[in-house]
Structure formats: structure tokens, C-alpha cells
Amino acid sequence: EGVECVTTLENMTKYFWYDNIHAFPKFMANLQAADPDIERMQTVSIFDLEGLTTSQLSSKTMDVVKAASAVAVCFPESLNSLIILNAPGFFSFSWRVIKGFINPRTVSKIEVHSSRKSGMKRLEEIIGEDQLPSDYGGKLMSTSEVIQQMGKRDEGGNSVRRQIVELMAVKSKKQKQFELEADETVTLNVYTKSSSGANFTIKKEEETVVDGVSVKGKGTTEEPLPCGTQIAASIKGPGKFNVEANAESGKGVDHFLLIGDVFA
């Protein structure tokens, strides 16, 4: 539901094609420019399933897997291996279904590990700790630190320290609380494909900071399209804040993805 608030299956498929046709070759060219001895490059991907629930393995998830697999089969040599970590017990059944959508040659490159420990041991065998992020047993920056380094900066040049991410399922009203330190500011955006929309209000204790920003998707009820709306820019800490979403129609449940970039 969260992904659908941001993009569509069609756009995800376009991204898969772009990544293989343009981004991957460009990345390889940059590496070869730095080291002319490089002749071949393949990826080792990590899928960490920690926290995965059965409800997340829906038909929509399978549609994404099918789309990605249809593109991947055209670039069989770009993948060296795919390591799946923290696979819950129920994933074994789902994996038998998913394998049916994937080219057998690609399936042979995928390893499923039910524990993080065994998966990380395998990663060290394939890659080596000098090339792994610290949160996966290596010596490099953690994945969150890399994301921060590559991410947005505010007008003062400060980088993102952390993110606030919440998928809000709104039938009539939904709330999300967050806290900022004295040196932090936050920019809040909401993404949705809801055609009816919701109004967002932000309060700091009893003080209203943002009042009634309407957030709706594009398109129509029959053909909803996702859209993002900035509901707040540069809210300053310190303090405890409450984001409240009030549905405009109250018919059914609509999903809104709240993303806050916290700068420091």
C-alpha cells in the first residue's frame, strides 16, 4: 500500500528498464574510468525480510515480482547473487510461488537464509567485510549513513539525519506522533493515490503549527494516480508533535504515506 502511494506498477517497470539499460552501464563506466583493469561487473543484492508479514505478500507484491523478473531475464549476467536474509517461516511457501515467476537461471543465483547470522556469513564469503556495510557485518558505512550522504540537504547545507516514515490507513481519523531535538528541523510530505483525500493538521502540544492541508491523489476514482504534497517545511525543534489526518469522505479506508526528512 505504501509503494502505491508513491508510484504505479507501470512506472516501476519503467524504472527497472532504466536501471538496467542506463544506470548500470553508467556506473560501470565510472568504475572503469577509475580502474581500467575492470572488465566485468556484477551485483550482489541483499533482501532483508526482517519484519515481513503475510499481508505484505499480496497479489500486488506478486505483480511487482513478475514485472521485475520480466526485465531481469533480459540481463541475466548482471546479477551475481541475491541473498535473502531473515526469511520468516511462512516465506518458504511464498518462495515456492515466487520462483515460478522467475527465470530458472536467476533462481539458481538466489539464496534464502532464515537467520541473519547465516546470511551475513555467506555475504562475507562472497564479498568480504571490507566491502560490506557495517550493519551487515562489514567495515564500510551503514546503509542508513549512505542514504543520508546521498540524500537531500536543506537550505543551510545540512544533510538528513533520519527519516520519519508512517503509512497511515485513514477511514475517518488517524494520528502520528514524533519528536524533534533542539538542533533538528523537519520537512513533511504526504503521498497518496486517494481520490477523496484527507486534511492534515500538525500540532505542537496544543499549538497548531499546520492547519488543514488537503492531500489528494491525481486521476479519478476509477483510475487513481499517486501524488505527493508538502504539508510542512522547516518545522523546528525541540518538541513533541502530532500529525492528524481527517478523511474528507469517510467512505472506506484510504492510505497516506507520511515521510519526514529530519535535518540537523
Cα–Cα distance between 249 and 247 in angstroms, integer? 6
pLDDT at residue 191 in the model: 98
Region 13-20: mean pLDDT is 94
pLDDT at residue 57 in the model: 87
Average pLDDT, the chain: 91
More confident residue, 239 or 131: 239
pLDDT at residue 3 in the model: 92
Cα–Cα distance between 200 and 228 in angstroms, integer? 13
Residue 165 has pLDDT above 90, yes or no: yes
Reported pTM: 0.83
Region 64-93: mean pLDDT is 91
Cα–Cα distance between 121 and 189 in angstroms, integer? 38
User: What digits encode the pLDDT tens for the residues 199-237?
Assistant: 999 999 889 999 999 999 998 888 889 999 999 998 999
User: What digits encode the pLDDT tens for the residues 46-65?
Assistant: 999 998 999 888 888 889 98
Other Cβ atoms less than 10 A from the Cβ of 260: the count is 23
Lowest mean pLDDT among 16-20, 96-100, 250-254: 250-254
pLDDT at residue 58 in the model: 87
Q: What is the CA radius of gyration of the chain?
A: 21
| Helix 59-72 with 91-99: angle, nearest 10 deg | 40
pLDDT at residue 14 in the model: 96
Residue percentage of the chain with pLDDT more than 90: 60
Residue 76 has pLDDT above 90, yes or no: no
- Residues 6 or more apart whose CB falls under 8 angstroms from that of 66 comprise 101
Q: Are the C-beta atoms of residues 53 and 94 closer than 8 Å to each other?
A: no
